[in-house]
Each structure stands twice: as structure tokens, then as C-alpha cells.
Amino acid sequence: MNKFEVKAFGTAAIDADLKPMNIERREVTAKDIEIEILYCGVCHSDLHTARNDWGGTIYPAVPGHEIVGKVVKVGSEVTKLKVGDYAGVGCLVDSCRECNSCKHDLEQYCLNGFTGTYNGQEKYLGNQTFGGYSEKIVVDEHFVLKVPANLNMAAVAPLLCAGITTWSPLRHWKVGKDSKVAVVGLGGLGHMAIKLAKGLGAHVALFSRTPGKTKDALELGADEVIISTDDAHMNSVRGKYDLIIDTVPYVHDLNPYINTLSVSGTLVVVGYLGGLEPLLNTVPMILGRKSVAGSVIGGIAETQEMLNFCGENNIVSEIEVINIQDINIAYERMLKSDVRYRFVIDMNSLK
């Protein structure tokens, strides 16, 4: 397998800052698309992987799975895109394509394990996959997405993770004009949940611990803000919401939110991985046929559907553009929630 070298930004160890390095990409095969990366969003998963918070990080690690760029080369059998087209790559660059999940366009739930855009297994070169903090990436056309040319390309990047993570449950639970949706947490995921739910025509609420985010939430499209620490306020929306999208990335009490679900309503967790404390009280769940579920990103077809919807409705993320040299500072700011609402790297700064 022929390969070529590109510039990248990554980390060589668990306690090391990200810094310039060179990595190898494969030359395009018949089904591959080579993309010059223009912008790459910064996700909490990038930070967790760089610092091995979840275990299993393979070093050197090059994060980045919110990739937007231009097609610069295509394989002989590629039909999806052509040179010069805008293209996107999200969290997946491969899957088995044979299991029941893959056959139903649910590659994110591949029963044999999908290949992550970074820290996965590069099937041609035999090493780990490297992400979007780099000049170029080569991906099988099945996992490359068409990006609507009318959108702000930098602000599109977070749609490839934060956007699809919230779009997938909205579509699975069939949110539409008669739906009442609430969002817990106003960050990278939460602000996209509000925008997309509103775009689908739903009545949208934000649960917030303090009134400080009320102005932002309303400007993003929320119809109301519920102060979750105010018992009277919470009681006033008891049984109201058909779907609650919980984007909070740390352990927290889900029980107060379950009480605000309508009969047959669902609270879907998209932000937190791990055990729950305190335990769920099943009484309101049983007496109201209410559910607590989980969801992660979306398949390729669903992600393309989201991008098309965003193109038609001019929906993008709220971003702060940074240079790649500032990524370590951005990580520290991200830990303090000091960003509105997503960092995006201008990859031109790598040249």
C-alpha cells in the first residue's frame, strides 16, 4: 500500500501537550476520497482521547472527528463526490457493512465495532487511524458526506458530531410540529438540540440550573426556559414533554426530569457515559410508561439527511474559530465551559 506524509497536530503521551507532528495517510484506493481539511471542530471526545480519560488511547494520537474540507483526489470507482466538492467526515470512517445494524444504515451501532476517525484501526496501513487535526484525510466514499455549499463551512464542522448526536434522537422519536421537546444542558450538544428541534417545528424548552442562560436559549430558538432548581417551576411543567434530550456530560440526577415527561415520553441521554447516581425511581416510569434511553451519533444516511436539512434551513453551530497552535489553551477553556458553543480549528493555520 502506497502512502504519503502530511502535517498534523497530536500528542505523544497521556501527559503531553498537543504539538506538530507528521503522520502517514494511504494513497487513495478505488473507493477512496482524499480531502484537504479546511476546518475541524473540537469535541470533548478529542480531549478525553488525548488524555486517555476513557483508557485505550493509542499514541501518538491525532484527534478530530468534525471534519470539513474539499475533495482533491478520488479513486477510479468513486461516484459520490468529485474533485472540488465540499465534503465532511464525522466520527466514523468504516464499519463491517455486513451486520444487521450496518445493513439498516446504523453503522454507529455496528455489531462488529465501527472504525473511529481516530484511535481506530487503519485497515490498509495497519496502524491506528488519525483524525482531522491534520492537512488531509483519506476515507472510503461510503463514509464521506456531501456538505451543502451555501453554509458557513467553519460552522458546519460541529454538525458532524454535536449536530448528528442530537439529530438522531430527534428523528428516532419522530419529533415534529406537534412535539414538545426539552433539552438539559446548554453547551455544544445542547445548543444544537435547540436549533434542530426548533427547525423541525417542535415547542422547545431548556432546563437550566440558573437563569443565566435564558437570553442565549431564547435567541437560539427555545420557547421557554425552566429553572430545574426551582421546585415550583418544575411542578408547573410536570407531564409536559414528549422527549427530553439530556446533554450533560457528568453524573447527575435524572429523576426530576422524568417527572416532566408526558405519558409514553422518553428521556434520552446523549452526553454522559457511566453509572447513575442516585438510582432511577421507577415509580413515575411505570405509572406513566416513561422511558430512559441512550443514543450516540447517527449512521451515514442519517447524517447526510441532517446536513441536507441544515442546508435547506440555514442551520449551523455557534462557533469560535481558533488556530491549531491554540488547541492546548482551547482544551483548558473547554473544561471550564468557556466557549460559545464550539471551538473550530482553521486548518490553514497548520501550513
Give 17-30 pLDDT, tens digit per residue.
999 999 999 999 99
Look up the pTM and report it.
0.97
DSSP result, 285-346 = HHHHT-EEEE-----HHHHHHHHHHHHHHT----EEEEEGGGHHHHHHHHHTT-SSSEEEEE
Mean pLDDT across the stretch 241-268?
Answer: 97
Nearest to 35, CA basis, from 159, 126, 136: 136
Mean pLDDT across the stretch 322-347?
Answer: 97
pLDDT, tens only, 89-99:
999 999 999 99
Indicate the average pLDDT of the chain. Answer: 97
Q: Which three cell numbers stand for residue 278?
A: 442516585
User: All domains of the chain, ordered by start, with CATH?
Assistant: 3-161+318-350 (3.90.180.10), 163-294 (3.40.50.720)
The confidence score (pLDDT) of residue 351 equals 87
pLDDT, tens only, 75-120:
999 999 999 999 999 999 999 999 999 999 999 999 999 999 999 9
Is residue 153 over pLDDT 90?
yes
What type of residue sits at position 273? L
Q: What percent of the chain has pLDDT over 70?
A: 100
The confidence score (pLDDT) of residue 96 equals 97
* Dihedral (Cα; 131, 249, 318, 224), 10-degree rounding: 160
The confidence score (pLDDT) of residue 154 equals 98
